[in-house]
Copies of this chain bind each other. A is one copy, B any other.
């Protein structure tokens, strides 16, 4: 008998039929004697419907009011799931984020969870209820409704699991686990039975969008056992996300997966003066415009100048180039700004690479053998990322997947 927090995303609750399926799965666990807290997202399409409605009124909807609106999406789903459970004679009760009191900061549309009052949930569990909680939402100190931003329901699930010290947080999605890479690109891609938090973080942020990155960070911080499962398969153990310290490094493959991302654009400031504060002068106005930056690369300088490169989301490319040309180039005395959005980032990820030399050189050799030119390189302790022309992305993923033996059993 365990306490599970289960999270079901928008596709899993996309219709009343699917909600009934979720209820049957929850009822099965309930019948086995487990305590269950179920976190659900809005029915797929609902959040977009609400945002469209808001935009009919305001081109840029007021963030406070937008949160009041979109939070209704999950509120509808929790009620429907609680009804479906009662229909199966399972005692169930729904809660909004405000009702649980999932306390967040007041950063509307992208709030962060500060604290969860778990007392009421605990007493409901003790009384034999399945507790159904609206994902993605909370309330600030002043009782304003907030949302955690897209995908925030994962974070709600993990945060509840942490607060309740649940045995496992199970994230049900439309895939049955984390794969070595995208099976649509590499048919030989395998489901990983386990993946470390750090690898998962790199995989998620690099574009394997199974879990929300903040949720994974949260799970890591509070040592929540996290499992990704399919809501459309009856059986299947999914992929368990582990802490490295619980992980037998001897059995760990060198590389766990190949991640990729074609949503970025690269920008390079050529001949920037190499003195303290320049990096801040360049990225300050970009950050002020709320543009997220991913890779940042600066090589050693010569002749007192250096080339400074970074990548941004492709949709921000034109905007960022404009800011740089108008506000930055005239002030810092760089030679020029160049950029391109026909790029893709490909990364090999694995905690094993820490103790294995030669991963980088093997990666670069494999790409060279295929005639793929590398435009940028960036590394962390457990990943190596390269930027290549986007037309080579799929080829790069396939050859790397094979070269690192990812198609063989773990």
On A, residues with C-beta under 8 Å from B are 16, 19-20, 50, 53-54, 56-58, 61-62, 64-66, 68-69, 71-72, 75-76, 78-80, 82-84, 86-87, 93-94, 96, 98-99, 143-145
A88 to chain B, nearest CB (A): 11
| Identical chains bound together, number | 2
A82 CB contact (under 8 Å) in B65, B78, B82, B99: B65
Residues of B within 8 A of A19 (CB): 57
A54–B79 CB distance below 8 A: yes
A64–B93 CB distance below 8 A: yes
Complex CA gap A78/B352 in Å reads 53
Residues of B within 8 A of A83 (CB): 54, 57-58, 61-62, 65-66
B69–A79 CB distance below 8 A: yes
A16 to chain B, nearest CB (A): 4
* A–B complex contacts, Cβ < 8 Å, 30 sampled: A16-B53, A16-B56, A19-B57, A20-B57, A50-B76, A53-B80, A57-B80, A57-B87, A58-B83, A58-B84, A62-B82, A62-B83, A65-B79, A65-B82, A65-B83, A65-B94, A66-B83, A68-B75, A68-B82, A68-B96, A69-B75, A69-B76, A69-B79, A69-B80, A71-B75, A72-B72, A72-B76, A75-B75, A99-B143, A99-B144
A266 to chain B, nearest CB (A): 37
A123 to chain B, nearest CB (A): 11
Residues of B within 8 A of A16 (CB): 53, 56-57
Residues of B within 8 A of A78 (CB): 68
Residues of B within 8 A of A50 (CB): 76
A79–B66 CB distance below 8 A: yes
A83 to chain B, nearest CB (A): 4
Complex CA gap A199/B130 in Å reads 50
User: Known contacts A99-B145, A143-B99; is A87 also within 8 Å of B69 by CB?
Assistant: no
A68–B79 CB distance below 8 A: yes
Q: Name which residue of chain B comes closest to A57, CB basis.
A: B83
Q: Name which residue of chain B comes closest to A142, CB basis.
A: B120
Looking at A57, A75, A78, A143, the one whose CB has the most chain B CB atoms below 10 A away is A57
Q: Name which residue of chain B comes closest to A73, CB basis.
A: B72
